[in-house]
């Protein structure tokens, strides 16, 4: 794989500027990794915006069916979807002007990540937002 994630210093700068995180694929089930990561980030003070069709609320926040349905800007799109869905998520990120895309551990789609990066997004792939935040800030 030729894709390279940002350095720790770059990740630190990115996360310093993030306040609102859209979590694509956020599960309402407490036992799911997406729920645990989003809940932890919420406890760190981040505004979590659930993006999941057919769900009205997760973690006390209203849920949206797609990124396009969110009526305000987001600072980061964190993705918990299978790799085959990433090109569509990248297209949605580009359409809403999202500045950064984070693909959680185990999610790798190099072509989509490179497309997002070429369009100016900061892209992190195959890493856990929570683990990196804890390592960099606590």
Per-residue pLDDT of the chain (138 residues; tens, 9 = 90+): 589 999 999 999 999 999 999 999 999 999 999 999 999 999 999 999 999 999 999 999 999 999 999 999 999 999 999 999 999 999 999 999 999 999 999 999 999 999 999 999 999 999 999 999 999 998
Helix boundaries (H) for the chain: 8-16, 33-43, 86-96, 110-118, 129-137
pTM of the model: 0.96
* Residue 123, phi then psi, degrees to nearest 5: -125, 130
Return the CATH number of 8-137, one of 3.90.920.10, 3.90.1720.10, 3.40.50.10490, 3.40.50.720: 3.40.50.720
């Amino acid at each position: 794989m030729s894709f390279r994630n940002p350095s720790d210093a770059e990740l630190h700068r990115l996360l310093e500027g993030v306040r609102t995180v859209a979590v694509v694929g956020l599960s309402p089930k407490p036992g799911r990794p997406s729920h645990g990561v989003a809940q932890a980030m919420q406890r760190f003070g981040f505004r979590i915006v659930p993006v999941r069709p057919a769900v009205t609320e997760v973690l006390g926040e209203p849920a949206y069916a797609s990124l396009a349905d969110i009526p305000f800007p987001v600072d980061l799109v964190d993705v918990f979807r299978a790799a085959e869905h990433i090109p569509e998520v990248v297209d949605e990120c580009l359409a809403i002007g999202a500045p950064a895309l984070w693909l959680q551990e185990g999610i790798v789609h190099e072509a989509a990540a490179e497309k997002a990066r070429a369009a100016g997004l900061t892209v992190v792939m195959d890493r856990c937002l929570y683990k990196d935040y804890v390592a960099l800030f606590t």
